[in-house]
Amino acid sequence: MTEELTLSQLRFLTLESQGLTKPYPFGKGKNAVLRALEHLGYLQIDTLSVVERAHHHTLWTRIPDYKAEYLDELVEEHKIFEYWFHAASYLPIKDFRFALPQMVEVKQSKTHYYNADPKVLKYVLDTIRGEGPKRARDFENETKKVGSWWSWKPTKIALERLFLQGDLMITGRNGMQKTYDLTENVLPNTIDTALPTELEFAEYLVKTYLKAYGFTTVKQITHLKTGELIRKNVDIVLKSMLQEGTIKQVNIENMPSVFVNESSLENSLNKTSSDIHILSPFDNSIIHRDRIKQFFNFDYKIECYTPKEKRQYGYFCLPVLFGDTFIGRVDCKAHRKEKEFEIIHLHIENTSIEIELWKESFVERMKSFATFNGCNTIKLTKVSPSKFTNKIRPLF
């Protein structure tokens, strides 16, 4: 049996599940970071720092008093860990066993992952076992030893291979520089390390997406997961949950049906939000570009990997969300040395929503974001359409 929802109801449902409809959806402080991560399922790590890095930006969006050191502290306390979701990510330590299938796959692979020399793998592992946690740079001096058969590059490859196959874990970071230790020294002994069955893994994916997004589709659940078996198992899990009544299959206007948590249906109907958010390009809420295009009618692509002459919006444009509508995107850069935050180009794309409804909230959000980026002044360079420039610029 299916139910009907409007597209607006579905949008609110998923934004609420993502923590984007309330000021402090996960509470405050470091505990809120852990709650957010356990709810969202993962947090993508990114190296780009034009503005504050994606993992920090995504948390700040949901936790206004967020501090960057919270993530490091939670790693040190063994409450979260780094591994791979669809990309390099922070994950709740309670979900460690669901990373095991990929670790096993890497360990058994001889071609598809970091192809490290077995001798270098043993050397790196023995060194960490004997001397304690190491960074890649700690092995650099070994290249200067006369007659050495290893070098900087092979040891770094070995560290990544040992990490991906589960022999090492990352115990901390200094910026993007990682420190590794033996998994047996890091993983709490209370953590379940039983390899999940393929059906258990499918159930983990289904429940992770349902909790984080409020609704999901088979396409989203199996994103970047190849093979017929995973799709078959996802279908089995969904069918079982439908029979139990914990989820419902829902139809929406001119869209394919989706699967929704029963509890979400009861709590999220006929609500609205007027919050404004400046989102990271790697924010959980928009990382599935097809989903955002389909359900929010927002065609988003990050252009930092696009040749300059082919960019439409700019190097690092951030989506601007007002209520349940993406009204545009803003290309930004934090000039940290000068403590100046530059709005290189604000693109207002949805002009059907009166600018008077959101301009002041947008300016306040940008001021907060500039402060979060360590800047105390804001420079607005360009607004499109240009007729809106005089409505925005005087507010900064």
The CATH number covering residue 312 comes to: 3.40.630
Q: Are residues 156 and 90 in the same domain?
A: no
Same domain, 280 and 378: yes
Total domains in the chain come to: 3
| In a shared domain, residues 283 and 251 | no
Both tokens assigned to 373: 């980026």
Helix axes 29-40, 198-213, angle to 10 degrees: 120
Q: Which domain holds residue 242?
A: 2-97+192-267
Of 202, 234, 267, which residue constitutes the final position of a domain?
Answer: 267
Where are the strands (E) in 137-268, listed by range?
A: 168-174, 177-182, 215-216, 247-252, 258-261
| End position of a domain, from candidates 135, 156, 186 | 186
Cα R_g (the chain), whole angstroms: 23
218 and 248 both lie in a single domain: yes
Pairing of strands 377-380, 340-348: parallel
User: Rounded to whole angstroms, how far apart are CA atoms 339 and 362?
Assistant: 20
Same domain, 295 and 387: yes
**Residues 249, 328: one domain?**
no
> Do the beta carbons of residue 30 and residue 73 sit within 8 Å?
yes
User: Which residue type sits at 265?
Assistant: L
The reported pLDDT for the residue numbered 121 is: 92
Indicate the pTM of the whole model: 0.93
Q: Which is it for the CA torsion 263, 265, 269, 275, positive or negative?
A: positive
Asked if 144 and 257 sit in the same domain, the reply is: no
Task: Scan for tokens 């700690």, then name that residue.
Answer: 138
CA–centroid distance for 241 within its chain: 27
CATH code of 128's domain: 1.10.10.10
Please give the distance of CA 111 from its chain centroid, rounded to a whole number: 28
Residues of the chain above pLDDT 90, percent? 77
Per-position b or e across 265-301, b if 16+ CB within 10 A of its CB: beebeeeebebbbbbbbbbbbbbbeebbeebbebebe
Do 232 and 330 lie in one domain? The reply is: no
Q: Where are the alpha helices (DSSP H) in 46-117?
A: 54-62, 69-76, 100-108
Same domain, 235 and 222: yes
C-alpha of 196 from chain center: 24
Instruction: Look at residue 322 in the predicted model and tell me its pLDDT.
Output: 97
Same domain assignment for residues 169 and 215: no
Low-confidence ranges of the chain (pLDDT < 70): 1-3, 111-113, 141-152, 267-270
- Does residue 105 sit in the same domain as residue 180? yes
Residue 358, token pair as written in the block: 């959101």
CA distances from 206 to 78, 150, 211, 236 (A): 25, 44, 9, 11
Shared domain check, 135 and 243:
no
DSSP 165-189: TTSEEEEEEETTEEEEEEHHHHS-T
> What is the reported pLDDT for 256?
78
**Which residues 6+ apart lie within 8 Å of 46 measured at CB?**
53, 54, 55, 88, 280, 282
Residue ending a domain, choose from 129, 153, 186: 186
